[in-house]
Chains A and B, each alone.
Chain A
Amino acid sequence: MLATMRKWLRINSKEKPDPPAALNQAADIPTQVKTIDLDLRPDDPFLAYLLGANGVVEIDRLKLDSPALKELKDAGVKISVPLVSQGELIGLLNLGQRRSEQDYSSDDHRLLATLATQAAPALRVAQLAQQQQIEARQRERIDQELRVARVIQETLLPRDVPSLPGWQIVPLWQPARAVSGDFYDFIPYPDGKLGIVIADVTDKGVPAAMVMATTRSILRARAEYRESPGQVLAEVNDLLCPDIPAKMFVTCLYAVLDPASGTLRYANAGQDLPYLRTAGGLVELFARGMPLGLMPGMEYEEKEVVFAPGDLLLCSSDGLAEAHNLQREMFGFPRIKELMSGPERGADLVERLMGALADFTGPNHEQEDDITLLVVERDAVESSNGDPMQLLTEFDIPSQPGNERQAVEQVLAALEDVQLPEARRKRLETAVAEATMNAMEHGNQYREDLPVHIAVVRSLKSLAVRITDHGGGTEIPETESPDLDAKLAGLQSPRGWGLFLIKNMVDDLKVSSDNEHHVIELVLNTKEG
């Protein structure tokens, strides 16, 4: 009779090795061999006794309050020899009544004790080998499943990057495991616009990948009927809510790019804020919205921004900003912003970001979370004869009354080599002065710690002055257009000429804002047609 144990738990008869041949007694005597499933609990006093026993244990003479011991006695066991390997009880060699019905002799005891010392390690090795085989088979099955899942997932990602004349798009998709909760997508509209998706499902691995596949399908289906990113996200959220597993949600940025005008309309369901790199510096594109799948009936704020030639947008999943190094420091947004401020574009920028991340996390780092990056940039070349946007100058002006004159001086200094008729130069002076005054007064409330940022860029066809203040996050009130008759009659304040003057001094006026900044861009055409 033989009982084996794995750990202290219930014996699993399937994993039990066959009894070693040595246990079969003399060949001429018919031998009864059977295995006993013994439930030996950790708190059973019999276990402690067996571990402390030296050699043979006389079961029939042992008196312990033990269910396991009773079970052995009931099975007719006279003596047991514990099989111990490395302090762990791995089995019991049990013998019943001798056929001669005599007691076991001391020689028998010695023989059995010796046998047990040799059998125990052999049995242990056999158990381990079998266990490893089972685990290897399981791993192989899981690996195979993951390989299939990854192939399926890769087919759900865009096979090609859309080719838009005058635009470059560079994606990077780097899962932390075989499968990922991150994805990106491009959805072309019949009118030439392009829907751009970057999304991140909570959690990683297979469950995240399943939710990713569902979200992608719903998004594609809804986007077909709508060009409004806010509405698309609201509808996807409502459709996703009933089906998504508890505690899972999806962060998602949906943007629609009009390559002809450079306009990007976007809405954001909790995805990391994209950054737009402009000649005037980095702009965070903020739009309010809850992650998808948390609560139905959500609304998603929709914003718009215009890419000037040379502007570059970076969207990323949180796997980049939230990567940690060995000191548990985060890679963080300030690092991303700093890296983005360099001259790199497209694939070079992606390479720079991932290189910096590798330097930060150090060698042999296991990637914590999925990383997806998407760079969308408008070519710096404006026309077919090739004219790059050129940054002539950029500077900060402290917000103090009267400093608009200083801004004008610095802008003029940067334009020394630019051919511009005197009248147009004077108009630009007035526009810059008025816009800077507005920025210092209304945007920055004349606060000393908030400077106005001014950038001057030129291309073949135009000249632009970008004036950025800290008045973002609030809507700019529509001012009534000044009416001199009404003013003279006392029906309108004599003031309120600023924006009116600016509009009349330049060829184009572009206004944009994010949650922090407000940007006014004054454009003068330098060549007709």
Chain B
Amino acid sequence: MVKQLETQVRSENGIAVVELHGEINSTAEEALNAAYAQAAQGSPSAVVLNFQEVDYINSTGIALIVGLLAQARKSHIRLVVCGLSEHYQEIFRITRLSDFMQIYEDEPSALAG
């Protein structure tokens, strides 16, 4: 019943895009960290986390995202997100993640921003 997170990393004009498919929970830790590491390798100007295909983020998932954000800030990489449902946008606001990560509706606007 647990859908293992699948990721895809690609580069768009010097910006790394991490496409996420599945659930962001404790089972996603390895895949998420590996995808971010891959994205951050070529010193991109920004990393975009695309949540378009994510239907569930729990508190452990939030903790994983906090972990990525901490890494990004250390290495001065701008981390932004897109494709979040209204509900998860609200959660990003409640947890104040939105104070540190720009939230875009979709990938094109994230890349344009």
A residues in contact (CB < 8 Å) with B: 401-406, 423, 426-427, 430, 433-434, 437, 482, 484, 487-488, 490, 493-498, 500-501, 504
Contact = CB atoms under 8 A, between A and B. Distances in A.
Contacts of A423: 86-87, 90
A375 to B, nearest CB: 41
Contact of B59 (A406, A488, A497): A497
Contact of B58 (A403, A426, A434, A493): A434
A494 B63 contact: yes
Nearest to A409: B1
Contacts of B91: 430, 501
Contacts of B96: 484
A488 B73 contact: yes
Given A484-B97, A487-B70, A490-B70, A434 B59 contact: yes
Contacts of A493: 63
Nearest to B25: A402
10 contacts: A427-B87, A427-B90, A433-B56, A433-B58, A434-B58, A493-B63, A496-B59, A497-B63, A501-B94, A501-B95
A401 B70 contact: no
Nearest to B61: A497
Given A482-B95, A484-B99, A501 B59 contact: yes
A500 B95 CA distance: 9
B42 interface: no
A437 B57 CA distance: 13
Contact of A437 (B59, B63, B90): B59
Nearest to A502: B59
Contacts, number: 69
Interface range on chain B: under 10, 10 to 19, 20 to 34, or 35 or more?
20 to 34
Nearest to A437: B58
Nearest to A406: B1
B112 interface: no
A497 B95 contact: yes
B67 to A, nearest CB: 5
A494 B86 contact: no
B86 to A, nearest CB: 7
B95 A430 contact: no
A35 to B, nearest CB: 99
A434 B63 CA distance: 13
Contacts of B99: 484
B14 to A, nearest CB: 25
- Identify the interface centre among A402, A496, A497: most chain B CB within 10 Å of its CB: A497
A501 to B, nearest CB: 6
B2 A487 contact: no
Given A406-B1, A494-B66, A494-B70, A426 B95 contact: no
B34 to A, nearest CB: 17
Given A482-B95, A488-B100, A495 B87 contact: no
Contacts of A434: 58-59
A487 B66 contact: yes
B54 interface: no
B67 A494 contact: yes
Contacts of A401: 2, 26-27
